[in-house]
Chains A and B, each alone.
Chain A
Amino acid sequence: MQSKSNNSLIKVRQLTKRFDKLIAVNDISFEVFKGELFGFLGPNGAGKTTTINMLTGLARPDSGSIEISGLDCSKNPKLAQHLIGIVPDESNLYPELTGYDNLCFCASLYGMRKHEREERARDLLEKFGLSDAANRKFAGYSKGMKRKLTIAAGIIHRPEILFLDEPTTGIDVASARQIRQLIANLHDSGTTIFLTTHYIEEAERLCQRIGFIVQGKIVRIDTVISLLQPIQKKHTMVISVLHPDEGLHHKLISEFPEYSIELVSKGQFRIVSEKVINIGPLVRCIEETGGEVSEARRIRPSLEEVFVNITGIELNAMKKEKQKNGRSS
């Protein structure tokens, strides 16, 4: 533990931020280790962006301390700004500049010389599959292209730590996949990444450790493996029934007391058990009531369940949030 602690690039202690009466971030403490891909997960308005803003210098904490790469940034965030790259939740490059000019300009903000920044810009445009659009104005880019270029701008100066705020929100599935791959590649190349998202499966796929934040408070921080361990032993199945009888749910509960059976929606049941779920008797029981099983599928244990268990936030609420943000995957 000692060695890990020495290896921490971001150290946050009792950080609090209020906006008038609203406590946006409430006494949070955590560390991010060198080379780690740390996920910061929570619903909209949980305090993720405010935390990033405080870590990067766009917001002043009311109390608490921030240390980045050993530098105390609580009072002077400028100290560590050369070490960090930021990809905000909105693509905020200059619409009137081309993709290439945007990257060169961002590089110049970090003091990179002309030759160096031009080479780096060309290299990143190629890596991110944007070479063909290099001389097009940023305003004319698609959402996915804008997101990719914003990420490229965030890493133009080869930062030690990259802050990614909701990198795949509001973009199409194909672009989201490409961006997730880019993030994974960046992590593989040694960049420490602080990723905020409200897409649980994204965090599960990419991150090593995850912090759950709800209403400004961190409710749990752990590795993905440790978070999933308690539910790995459980078996979950979803059964869809055509023409379900009104009393079917009660009948299933009374006939199969060893299972936890939940009515998810009309004709859809979620069955959770410590033991292997035997599908045959369940199907027979359903058919006896006049119902017809149209689908039965085993559900892989996911972080979404862990999130629901820890935070108490409904799965449906998260799904509605996703739909509101225009994502279909």
Chain B
Amino acid sequence: MKRWIAFWNILLKDMRAYYLKPPNISWGLIFPVAWTGMFFIKSGKGLDSIISLLPGVVAISILFGTTSMLAVTVTFEKKNKSFDRLLLAPIPLRLLMLAKTSGAILFGSINAFIPIIIASFLADISHVNWFALVLAAIMIAIASTFLGLFIAVSVSEVFEAQTFSNFFRFPMIFLCGLFFPITSLPIFLRPLSYVLPLTYGVDILRGAIDKGNIMPLWLDFLIILGFCVLLFAISLKNIHKRWIM
């Protein structure tokens, strides 16, 4: 029970201190709207393009919302040593890091629904498989958050966290089939797409929104789950190695 009191309060503190701040909320709103607008205009197909753009916009909203926030907040706390306070608390490291990442997962998952809500006013989304969509949004949020954690543990300065985040994020936009199908990529780039977790998240979203998935959904879920476990395990190992010297 005591551990869960700590878990809940870490999550609550992070939500209040970082995620629910007006600049983050506005960023969470503006970013998906801007991306949707950009691809909407570029497609030139009018409102018909909304459904085909939706999976990419949902994925990118989650990716940017989670990775940057978590990487920056953890690096900031590590830098001013307030993170040591958490490491010194009688909570198992695994639970502590789950508490620390839960805020970003929640923030990312909520971010996913902003473009969906906007799309609901502009297109017919009645045929969407909501179960798969919600699950996909949560899985992408978890994978992206753990990627943010991996970045946070690998750097020591806040600006490094930003730079390192972009090193992963921008290639992902073009390699994960967010806006261009993987099949249209040059053949030598395609293997890269399959080692990025977002590829599988986007495939689930495509399946859920317009049945455009290229792999079975269960396989997508399994692979993205594998990425989550792997990223979390590597991050925990790195925390042990780098922060508890």
Which residues of chain A are within 8 angstroms of B17 by Cβ–Cβ distance?
Answer: 94, 96-97
CA distance A78 to B240 in the complex (A): 13
Nearest B residue (CB) for A150? B85
CA distance A110 to B81 in the complex (A): 18
Q: Which of B1-59 contact A (CB under 8 A)?
A: 1-3, 5-6, 8-10, 13, 17
CA distance A110 to B2 in the complex (A): 7
In the assembled complex, A112 has its CB within 8 A of some CB on chain B: yes
In the assembled complex, B91 has its CB within 8 A of some CB on chain A: yes
Which residues of chain A are within 8 angstroms of B90 by Cβ–Cβ distance?
Answer: 78, 81-82, 109-111
Task: Write out, one digit per residue, whether chain A residues 86-117 have a CB within 8 A of any chain B CB (1) or not (0).
Answer: 10101011111100000001101111110000
In the assembled complex, B189 has its CB within 8 A of some CB on chain A: no
Whether the pair B82, A94 counts as a contact (CB closer than 8 A) is yes
Min Cβ gap A227→B in Å is: 31
Whether the pair A86, B13 counts as a contact (CB closer than 8 A) is no
In the assembled complex, A192 has its CB within 8 A of some CB on chain B: no
Whether the pair B1, A111 counts as a contact (CB closer than 8 A) is yes
Task: Write out, one digit per residue, whether chain A residues 241-283 have a CB within 8 A of any chain B CB (1) or not (0).
Answer: 0000000000000000000000000000000000000000000
Which residues of chain B are within 8 angstroms of A59 by Cβ–Cβ distance?
Answer: 244-245
A111 with B5, Cβ < 8 A, contacts A57-B88, A81-B89 known: yes
Nearest B residue (CB) for A113? B5
CA distance A26 to B87 in the complex (A): 25
Which residues of chain B are within 8 angstroms of A109 by Cβ–Cβ distance?
Answer: 6, 9-10, 85-86, 89-91
In the assembled complex, B124 has its CB within 8 A of some CB on chain A: no
Whether the pair A111, B6 counts as a contact (CB closer than 8 A) is yes
Q: Which of A45-66 contact B (CB under 8 A)?
A: 53, 56-60
Nearest B residue (CB) for A79? B90
Q: How large is the interface on A (under 10, 10 to 19, 20 to 34, 35 or more residues)?
A: 20 to 34
Nearest B residue (CB) for A108? B9
CA distance A57 to B84 in the complex (A): 10
A90 with B81, Cβ < 8 A, contacts A58-B87, A112-B5 known: yes
Nearest A residue (CB) for B13? A105
Which residues of chain B are within 8 angstroms of A19 by Cβ–Cβ distance?
Answer: 245
In the assembled complex, B183 has its CB within 8 A of some CB on chain A: no
Which residues of chain A are within 8 angstroms of B9 by Cβ–Cβ distance?
Answer: 105, 108-109
Min Cβ gap B222→A in Å is: 33
Whether the pair B80, A92 counts as a contact (CB closer than 8 A) is yes
CA distance A153 to B89 in the complex (A): 12
Which residues of chain A are within 8 angstroms of B81 by Cβ–Cβ distance?
Answer: 88, 90, 92
Task: Write out, one digit per residue, whether chain B residues 61-87 have a CB within 8 A of any chain A CB (1) or not (0).
Answer: 000000000000000000011101111
Which residues of chain B are within 8 angstroms of A106 by Cβ–Cβ distance?
Answer: 85
Which residues of chain A are within 8 angstroms of B186 by Cβ–Cβ distance?
Answer: none
Whether the pair B80, A95 counts as a contact (CB closer than 8 A) is yes
In the assembled complex, B216 has its CB within 8 A of some CB on chain A: no
Whether the pair B245, A93 counts as a contact (CB closer than 8 A) is no
Min Cβ gap B223→A in Å is: 33
Which residues of chain B are within 8 angstroms of A60 by Cβ–Cβ distance?
Answer: 244-245
In the assembled complex, B191 has its CB within 8 A of some CB on chain A: no
CA distance A93 to B84 in the complex (A): 10
Whether the pair A57, B13 counts as a contact (CB closer than 8 A) is no
Task: Write out, one digit per residue, whether chain B residues 107-148 have a CB within 8 A of any chain A CB (1) or not (0).
Answer: 000000000000000000000000000000000000000000
Which residues of chain B are within 8 angstroms of A78 by Cβ–Cβ distance?
Answer: 90, 92
Q: Which of B80, B88, B245 has the most CB of A within 10 A?
A: B88
Whether the pair A57, B82 counts as a contact (CB closer than 8 A) is no
Min Cβ gap B197→A in Å is: 31
CA distance A231 to B29 in the complex (A): 73
The 3 A-B residue pairs whose C-beta atoms are closest, nearest first, are A111-B2, A108-B9, A109-B89
Given contacts A92-B85, A94-B82, A109-B6, 18 further A-B contacts (CB under 8 A): A53-B245, A58-B84, A58-B245, A81-B88, A88-B84, A92-B82, A93-B85, A95-B80, A108-B8, A108-B9, A109-B10, A109-B90, A110-B2, A110-B6, A110-B90, A111-B1, A111-B6, A113-B5
22 A-B pairs within 8 Å (CB atoms) are namely A57-B87, A57-B88, A57-B244, A58-B88, A59-B245, A81-B90, A82-B90, A86-B88, A88-B81, A88-B84, A92-B82, A93-B82, A95-B80, A97-B17, A108-B5, A108-B6, A108-B8, A108-B10, A110-B90, A111-B3, A111-B6, A112-B5
